[in-house]
Structure 1
Amino acid sequence: MIATTGPIAGAILASPSAFAADKAVSKTSVAELDPAEQKIADNLNARSQDPRLGSTLGGVVIDAKTDKVVWGHNATTALMPASNTKLATATAALTVLGPDHRFTTKVVYGDGTLTLVGGGDRTLTTDDLDALAKTAVAGLNNAGLTSVKVQVDDSLFPEPTLATGWNTGYYPNEIAPVRSLVVDGHAVTDTALDAGQVFAKLLTDRGVTVTGDVTRGVAGAGNVPVAQHQSDKLSKIVKHMLKVSDNNIAETLLRMTALGAGRPATFEDGTAVVRAVLGQRYGVSLDHFEMYDGSGLSRSNRIPAQTLADILDLTTDPRYRQTLKYIADGLPVAGEAGATLGPEWGRFDTPDSQCAVGKVKAKTGTLTGAIALSGMTKAQDGHWKVFSFVENGSTANGNDIKDALDGLAATVNGCWA
């Protein structure tokens, strides 16, 4: 069990937040639109008829300050959200663990064996391992030891399994089997043994003889701590995960969030904690909400556009911003290279959307038969609008569907070619 650094981990399953409940209720109320909002609604009514979007589109636009629903279309329909699922995962991770949480990788020694102990750091690098190896070698030299065995301990997580809605074709490129130890994000079947082999070579390079093959085991209670490495803060990891839509980080965070809430590191327990955080901590409606993984690769996930928008809307609430602002900060920006809305992905590069470059930030989501875009933008009335658009089942080309969704997001901004 890891220690929980989050502010409310023990209380996460307590009674619902009255504030959040009030907030949720206000979104269902009918409010008259001002002229600027009416223009957004009218233009979205027109653009949402784009044949590229097919017949199954869910969408909603909310004013972030007033929670007024500016526009909605099948907003509560259960749809496959693809990587927009990561918004729910990130919310739970930041809430349970806290933005300043760091993941620790350790090296311990006992009975002639150095054990590399995984701590759920999906961002661990070879340089990080080399620093651990340097410290370990110094300790071995001080003890007069010139040879050692190496094993890995990835017992923090149970043996990897497929999530509901996954298939083995995802392994290892879309997602690696989820383990608590990995180096350089290697896309291999056994990331723990791979990390151990990298560590063993680094020891060898520093003059220590490693005997035998790297094995898997559990560090003994009496093992002596030798070295440790701490990751960047969770806030930074979440931002990176959202910018590039990293599936592996998302699944690792789901497990660490489960552990942080005192539950086993499984898909089932991780998603149960996500539901508790959203529903009980923040009062987000879980009607038609089905979540089976942390990344959104599961084809069984269902999240309405309204729920995705409500999750993002939490990041604009002063009561929650200190914890959740990193989600908004991590959203890819239209036209920003190196993220999933960048020009290298052909996003926001059509007449319908080019004028919104730099003005829209949103999480992308793409699976066969499901494309989503949920984010926020400052509209022409100067108010931040939160939006979510989820398309399922269109037979149009995927890039054409994305262009159409970009056009919807640009419309919220006031971009109208």
Structure 2
Amino acid sequence: MKRRTSRAGTDPVPAPLRGIIPMLLLTLLVVALAVPAGIAIAPAFLGPDRSADAAKPAPPWQQAPTRLSSPRGTGGIGPLSASAAAPDAGPLAAQLNDSLKTDGAGTITGAVQDAATGQLLFDRSGDEARVPASNMKLFTASAALRVLGPDRRFSTKVVAGSAPGSVVLTGGGDVLLGAGESAPGAVVGHAGLATLAQATVRALQNDGVSGTVTVLLDDSLFSGPPLNPAWSPDDVAAGEMAPLYPLATNSARFDPAKTTGPRPQDAAMAAAEAFTAQLTAAAAAAGLSVAPGVVRAPAGAGSGPEKSGPDKSRPGKGDVRVLAEVQSATVGQQVDLLLRTSDNYLAEVMGRMTALAGGRPGSNDGAIAAVLQQLKDMDIPTDTLRAEDVSGLALANQVSARQLTDVVRAMTSGKDTRLRAALAGFPVAGLTGTLGDRYTDASTAGGAGLVRAKTGTLNTVIALSGYVVDADGRLLVFSFIGNGLTPGAANKAALDRAASVLARCGCR
């Protein structure tokens, strides 16, 4: 049986959920989660009252507002009350242990921390190293936000080639290119190849170029093997991963509307061919022609006679003349996407871009080293952590639940506010991303709309790490990891039940 990661892409809303979505939307409440210092974080969202005691009034922070809040200071909402009580460890453990029962073989470890104080409220072998599946992406997201910053964008450029009439399409890390015109409001397709082609033709016209234009491809930004030997060939064939390049359309997908199935095995060349098609169309209107086919150029092929200063995004490339350029969505937006859809390809590219920004090679080893260094800098112990990739597709990864709660706590409540940019990307239980089709039955509906967590799924592995505000208004971070499970068994529900316990629990 094939090992598979969490699905990339938001599933259609399942039929059991359609009836409650209008009620969810009507009762949606934005909650600012913050440390006592008052740093606001991303909101939790209301779900329906499915508790055993439905007659008990919901606490104020889980009720629909009757009026808009007045702006305060910079417009942020006030922090959660510092007087909200944390759950008692004993009653909480009793409920969680009752929920965390496997269906068949295997075991589940877990940890729950109070976000404000770091107090460990639940510990079930929380320091034991386990296969984390796609929860590995939480480490990659935090490293990217710390090193690159949430506002960083990646550039895809066309530069003048060394031969007259030649242009070089140069990859700069944007694998979310669109084939059409740039879409400023989008993440996938924020930078469009048609827009890049049109700008290239205008630049060529201004330079007085005539005749036939030749397109070359420079995708030399990354180094090392494009495929990690730790990945299963079955997973690659199924489209969970593909050879990594520093430019691609639709996160190396043939169709932006299809986020499953096989991927192109040469995503950079596929993007270059799409660019050439757009350039051909734009050039025809300007009286130019474009030679068929694209040739890979050696690194530094762009070295036309006219100079516009060094291209600092490509170390060692020297002076080049940039003819046209498009920029990606921000790193923060891309991190949201990779967490929400659990996109392995995008996560691995983000790891390599993080490595390059830190002065390391843009390779698998460089990405791993960059991520581990950031965890150490965040004071997250890494002695027991083993990383074979930065997406979580490799079964050789070893991570503890406590390490995952530590990184989620850093995102929600740590001093580095750049990490707050990751919070909106956590899937919302029953509503978005890889949690969109979960939390729909009576045992888990108490967490619907409230739990925000990153999923992880391999053949015998499940994981769930995230954050939630409990019934007393206390922000909790959690991680549950199941390993050695019976393939195909109903174990996701156990993790969802546990997270729902946290959402509805005062537990005293």
Measured against the shorter chain, the TM-score band is 0.7 to 0.9
Aligned with 1:171: secondary structure?
Answer: helix
Partner of 1:86: 137
Give 2:387's aligned amino acid. Answer: M
Q: How does 1:183-202 map to 2 (within 5 A)?
A: 183-185=249-251, 186=253, 187-202=263-278
Aligned with 1:326: secondary structure?
Answer: helix
Match of 1:221 among 290, 299, 303: 303
Q: Distance in 1 between matches of 2:159 and 2:244?
A: 23
Residue 392 of structure 2 is aligned to residue 302 of structure 1: no
Q: How does 1:44-123 map to 2 (within 5 A)?
A: 44-48=96-100, 50-52=101-103, 54-110=105-161, 111=163, 112-123=165-176
Match of 1:401 among 468, 478, 491: 491
Match of 1:137 among 182, 190, 201: 201
Change (3 A) 1:79 1:226: same
Aligned with 1:123: secondary structure?
Answer: strand
Shift of 1:351: 1.7
Aligned with 2:374: secondary structure?
Answer: helix
Contact 1:180 1:252 (8 Å CA) reproduced? yes
Change (3 A) 1:92 1:130: same
Contact 2:87 2:505 (8 Å CA) reproduced? no
Q: Distance in 2 between matches of 1:37 and 1:334?
A: 24
Q: How does 1:21-32 map to 2 (within 5 A)?
A: none
Contact 1:40 1:414 (8 Å CA) reproduced? no
Partner of 2:408: 312
Match of 1:293 among 382, 385, 389: 389
Match of 2:289 among 165, 187, 209: 209
1:318-362 Cα distance to aligned partner (Å, 9 max, x none):
511x2101222210000114x11002xxx1122211121101000
1:136-171 Cα distance to aligned partner (Å, 9 max, x none):
112223314242111110000125333242122233
Partner of 1:125: 178
Partner of 2:340: 243
Aligned with 1:163: secondary structure?
Answer: coil
Q: Distance in 1 between matches of 2:224 and 2:117?
A: 46
- Give unmatched runs, 5+ long, in structure 2: 1-84, 182-191, 254-262, 305-319
Partner of 1:154: 219
Partner of 1:272: 369
Contact 1:289 1:302 (8 Å CA) reproduced? yes
Q: Distance in 1 between matches of 2:209 and 2:483?
A: 64
TM-score, structure 2 as length reference: 0.71
Contact 1:361 1:377 (8 Å CA) reproduced? yes
Partner of 2:475: 384
Contact 1:59 1:388 (8 Å CA) reproduced? yes
Q: CA RMSD in A?
A: 1.8
Partner of 1:15: none
Partner of 1:412: 502
1:112-154 Cα distance to aligned partner (Å, 9 max, x none):
2111100011211112110110011122233142421111100
Give 1:229's aligned amino acid. Answer: V
Shift of 1:109: 1.6
Q: How does 1:322-341 map to 2 (within 5 A)?
A: 322-337=417-432, 339-341=433-435
- Give unmatched runs, 5+ long, in structure 1: 1-32
Shift of 1:39: 2.8
Percent sequence identity over matched residues?
38
Contact 1:164 1:292 (8 Å CA) reproduced? no
Give 2:366's aligned amino acid. Answer: D
Partner of 2:246: 180
Q: Distance in 2 between matches of 1:38 and 1:358?
A: 26
Aligned with 1:94: secondary structure?
Answer: helix
1:185-231 Cα distance to aligned partner (Å, 9 max, x none):
32201111111110111111121422142111132334421000111
Q: Which moved more, 1:204-213 or 1:401-410?
A: 204-213
Aligned with 1:141: secondary structure?
Answer: helix
Q: Distance in 2 between matches of 1:198 and 1:43?
A: 55
Give 1:211's aligned amino acid. Answer: A
Partner of 1:366: 457
Q: Distance in 1 between matches of 2:87 and 2:353?
A: 46
Change (3 A) 1:313 1:54: farther
Q: Distance in 2 between matches of 1:37 and 1:266?
A: 43
Q: Distance in 1 between matches of 2:350 and 2:399?
A: 19
Aligned with 2:205: secondary structure?
Answer: helix
Partner of 2:48: none
Partner of 1:232: 329
Match of 2:91 among 39, 44, 55: 39
Q: Distance in 2 between matches of 1:381 and 1:301?
A: 36
1:44-69 Cα distance to aligned partner (Å, 9 max, x none):
12222x23274421100001011111
Contact 2:405 2:478 (8 Å CA) reproduced? yes
Partner of 1:342: 436
Give 1:291's aligned amino acid. Answer: A
Aligned with 2:130: secondary structure?
Answer: coil
Equivalent pairs counted in the alignment come to 376
Q: Distance in 1 between matches of 2:469 and 2:340?
A: 20
Aligned with 2:116: secondary structure?
Answer: coil
Select the structure that is richer in helix.
1
